[in-house]
Amino acid sequence: MCGGQFDSQDEMDSHAKQMHSNKDEQEEHSIICSKCGMKAKSPQDLATHGQQHSTSS
Ligand SMILES: [Zn+2]
Ligand SMILES: [Zn+2]
């Protein structure tokens, strides 16, 4: 993340929410494969990933 050192998980979480909750990260995390839960970086990335599910089995 930013290399900061924290005494506890709670401190790190609150820090991350305040300092690293930018819009790009939220958009990135909103595209998720419904079959395996993988986080895609873009709709195109998700489409390419989805082909792997349809070809196997
Ligand atoms: Zn940080
Ligand atoms: Zn998947």
Cα(18) to centroid(ligand 1), Å: 9
Cα(11) to centroid(ligand 1), Å: 10
For residue 29, is it within any domain?
Answer: yes
Q: Identify the domain containing residue 15 by its residue range.
A: 11-55
Number of independent structural domains in the chain = 1
For residue 35, is it within any domain?
Answer: yes
For residue 1, is it within any domain?
Answer: no
pLDDT by position in tens, the chain (length 57): 688 889 999 999 998 888 877 655 555 557 889 999 998 888 899 999 999 998 755
Q: Which residues surround ligand 1, an ion (CB under 5 A)?
A: 1-2, 4, 19
Cα(9) to centroid(ligand 2), Å: 29
Cα(15) to centroid(ligand 1), Å: 6
For residue 47, is it within any domain?
Answer: yes
For residue 3, is it within any domain?
Answer: no
pLDDT at 30: 72
pLDDT at 18: 83
pLDDT at 36: 95
- CA-to-CA distance for 23 and 4, rounded, in angstroms? 21
pLDDT at 23: 54
Place of tokens 């986080």: 39
pLDDT at 41: 85
- CA-to-CA distance for 42 and 49, rounded, in angstroms? 11
For residue 2, is it within any domain?
Answer: no
